[in-house]
Amino acid sequence: MSKSKLKENANRQVHVTSTKTLDKSDMKKIFIRSWFLLGSFNFERMQSVGFCVSLIPALKKLYKGDELKAALKRHLEFFNTQPFIASPIMGITAAMEEQRAQGMPIDEASISGVKVGLMGPLAGVGDPIFWGTARPVLAALGASIALSGSILGPLIFFIAFNAIRLATKWYGLNYGYQKGTQIVSDMKGNKLKKLTEGASILGLFVMGALVSKWTSVNIPYELSRYTGPDGAEVITTVQSILDQLVPGLIPLLMTFTCMTLLKKKINPLIIIFGLFATGILGYWAGILS
């Protein structure tokens, strides 16, 4: 069949009313497959193959022949979002495909439109919640326990993060499927905005604490040394003065410098190497320890 004819076929409304519906077991299959969404991530269409593979159980059930081909092709279009938050999008897409297969007037463009329209805003919610807050907080907690050599550290991080991930993915998928395109109108409300901003506040608050407490810079450079009236020797170093002013001031300044450099699109690795050079030179010169 020629390409143009295939396209024509795909755009044609499906008039045959079918009773094909998706059930719980299809949702489970999509759920498991969605764990591998980024598997074939590439720089051209990013998560597109993963999205298509996740939906294949539903597509195979709903369509046959040319309609299946057209459905596979429309889910190989560019797709990229935060991987956990992709689940509600998969749910909505599955619901729309189901309705289309049943003969409802839903065309290809509106399915693609919903996908593209949701992936950006939802990534904007998922990134601060999962990458900005949940993971750094749990990883810092796990790492602090791990430093003593306790297996609890990695276990707490692994189990807690995966529990959050799996719950988000399973409920997100089913929520998207049940609500369908209604989600698009939900998003116009303040709910998502509140969630995003709330997560960002929590994330930034914890980041502030981490910058102060979870970094170590020690500048033992001596400024003065004298014997106090009680006979004890008093040593004043740069660090002791800084600690009296604001503990963690140097890491704070370093963080701001890094933020500025990153905004200028400088590769983080270059900044990391720069900091290593600072550490080595500082240690060699006796300024840092």
Among 32, 234, 235, 275, binds another protein (CB under 8 A): 275
Site for another protein in 156-175 (CB under 8 A): 157-158, 161-162, 165
Binding mask 229-258 for another protein (x = CB under 8 A): -----------------xxx-xxx-xxx-x
Closest contact distance (angstroms) between CB of 229 and another protein is 29
- Which of 88, 91, 132, 172 lies at the binding interface for another protein (CB under 8 A)? 132
Q: C-alpha 16: how far from its chain's center?
A: 41
Q: Which CB, 140 or 184, lies closer to another protein?
A: 140
Tokens of residue 272, six digits = 């990391």
Residue 116 in contact with another protein, rule: CB under 8 A: no
Question: Which residue, 109 or 234, is less far from another protein as judged by CB?
Answer: 109
Query: What 3-state DSSP class applies to 13?
Result: coil
187 binds another protein (CB under 8 A): no
Residue of the chain from 7, 28, 194, 225 that contacts another protein (CB under 8 A): 194
CB of 232 to another protein, least distance (A): 26
Among 9, 136, 192, 237, contact with another protein (rule: CB under 8 A) = 136
204 forms part of the interface with another protein (CB under 8 A): yes
Provide the minimum distance between the beta carbon of 269 and another protein in the complex, in angstroms, as a whole number.
Answer: 5
How many chain residues are in contact with another protein, going by CB under 8 A? 112
Q: Contact between 46 and another protein (CB under 8 A)?
A: yes
Given 198, 234, 236, 241, the residue binding another protein (CB under 8 A): 198
Distance CA(99)–CA(104), nearest Å, equals 5
